[in-house]
Structure 1
Amino acid sequence: MKKIILSAVAVFAFGFTNAQGVKFGVKAALNVSSLTGDVDNASSLVGFQVGGFAEIKLTEKFAVQPELMYSAQGADSDGDKFNLDYINIPVMAKFYVAKSFSLEAGPQIGFLMSAKIEGEDVKDFVSSTDFSANLGAGFDFTENLSAGLRYNFGLTNVYDVEGFDDSIKNGVFSVSLGYKF
């Protein structure tokens, strides 16, 4: 059964990539992140993202772009740095409003890799997955070089502590540069 499913996926993927315009790429971004909701004195923390993507053109004006990104996020609260590192998997729907300009939106799931406050491990008190929604825009300078702006609205409570009912979520603004092969 496993071989049949893998074969079907391979045939589907080959046929899909063969029939459609698919470009693979890498990108890096500067993050300005914070925690939103029931949090006092939180200010932004500067981090980064790095990873890869596949842009799958379905029509001239519409594409789907799954990504796999490492993301350094968090916030600064009363001088204490709260660092959250995730592997994020956004799946963006891109609508080209002009030849080189696109608007994008889509869901994202993030898997927590580490959580530290001033270097002390607090991973046991943070949700292991982070669901969020992304909105953004992109501009293609050339066939290969692009830039983007994106805001990530966290939907999942960051803290996973019994009896802690405050709603605290990730919020990440990013500016990226990408290169398509």
Structure 2
Amino acid sequence: MKQLSLLATLAVAASGVGEAQAQNVRVGLKGGPSYTTVVGQNVDGAAYKWGFHGGVLVNFKLSDRLSLQPEVLYSQKGTKEENSTTRIDVNYVDLPVVLRATPGLGGLFVEAGPQLGYLAGSTSRVDTRKPLARVTTDFAGSYPHFDVGYAVGFGYQLNSGLGIGLRYNGGLTHVLKGATDDDTARNSAFQLYLSALVGKGR
């Protein structure tokens, strides 16, 4: 009888731990528009262009004010030439891991952390008028396969799981070396997103 009581107690304790851990983990989706270009030396005339980013995330609650959030995102980046129809599209599978802090002002949060991007494809496109045509060149084999960078941002998260945020994503890798030998261009992206989390807690 004592053994049965002990087993029952352990089962209840294990159930409680599992429930507590489940309350500290939330999964979700996020996505929205991106406004991207390249910065650095020898990139005069590079202008911003619009794109999209979206993917999945997992939020691990570390304390009442801190959480760790790894993400897997498909991100359209690149740039376009100012006063021209030439544009470069560089698309990545990004893996940011951000530390999110809530200062206690409702659902307001700030976030920052490293990011690793894997090149999913890159093209250079020129739209011509005479004759009407679009010339597209695939440069995926010329550019670096990985982009090391960082992400910083802020936003607002409701207890229901719905949230909105603005993030700056900066690259540290020279991503357009396939275009010119002396190019030191780095990715620069502003990302506005909506998110939806499933689970308990903020």
**TM-score, L = length of structure 2:** 0.78
Q: Residue deviations 1:74-109, cap 9 Å, x none?
A: 100132110011000000000101230111000000
- Please list every run of at least 4 consecutive aligned residues from structure 1 whose deviation after the TM superposition is greater than 3 angstroms: 160-163
**Residue identity opposite 1:70 in structure 2:** Y
- Shift of residue 163, structure 1, vs aligned partner: 7.9
What amino acid maps onto 1:21 in structure 2?
Answer: N
- 1:141 counterpart = 2:158: yes
Looking at structure 2, the residues matched to 19 and 47 of structure 1 have their Cα atoms a distance apart, in angstroms, of 35
User: What root-mean-square deviation, in Å, do the aligned CA atoms of Structure 1 and Structure 2 show?
Assistant: 2.1
Match of 2:95 among 86, 89, 92: 89
Q: Secondary structure at the match of 1:18?
A: helix
CA contact (8 A) 1:53 1:65 kept: yes
Task: Report the AA paired with residue 134 of structure 1.
Answer: A
Q: How far apart are the structure 1 equivalents of 2:97 and 2:169?
A: 12
Instruction: Give the Å deviation of 1:32.
Output: 0.1
CA distance in 1, matches of 2:68, 2:33: 22
Partner of 2:48: 44
Summarize the Cα distance change of 1:163–1:100 in structure 2 as closer, same or farther, 3 Å threshold.
closer
Please give the alpha-carbon distance, in whole angstroms, between the structure 1 residues aligned to 2:31 and 2:159.
17
Identity of aligned residues (%): 30
Distance 1:163 1:40 in 2: 13
**Which one has the bigger strand percentage?**
1
Question: Normalization by structure 1: what TM-score?
Answer: 0.86
Corresponding residue SS for 1:133:
strand
Q: Specify whether residues 117 and 162 from structure 1 end up closer, same or farther in structure 2 by C-alpha distance, changes over 3 A only.
A: closer
Contact 1:20 1:58 in 2 (8 A): no
Secondary structure, counterpart of 1:125 in structure 2: coil
Q: Distance in 2 between matches of 1:113 and 1:44?
A: 20
**What are the equivalent positions in structure 2 for 1:31-180 lying under 5 Å apart?**
31-38=34-41, 39-77=43-81, 78-98=84-104, 99-118=106-125, 119-161=136-178, 164-180=181-197
Inter-partner Cα distance in structure 1 for 2:22 and 2:159: 23
What SS does structure 1 have at the residue aligned with 2:141? helix
Counterpart code for 2:145: S
Are the structure 2 counterparts of residues 138 and 162 from structure 1 closer, same or farther at C-alpha, using a change threshold of 3 Å?
Answer: closer
Tell me which amino acid in the other structure corresponds to 1:34. T
The residue matched to 1:92 in structure 2 has which SS?
strand
Q: How many residues align?
A: 168
Q: Structure 2 unaligned segments of length 5 or more: list them.
A: 1-16, 126-135
| Contact kept? 1:20, 1:56, Cα under 8 Å | no
For structure 1, the residue ranges without an aligned partner over 5 or more in a row are: 1-13
Give the 3-state SS of the residue equivalent to 2:175 in structure 1. coil
The answer to whether the Cα contact below 8 Å between 2:37 and 2:48 also exists between their aligned partners in 1 is yes
**Higher mean Cα deviation, 76-85 or 50-59?**
76-85
Take 1:85 and 1:19, find their aligned partners in 2: how far apart are those partners? 34
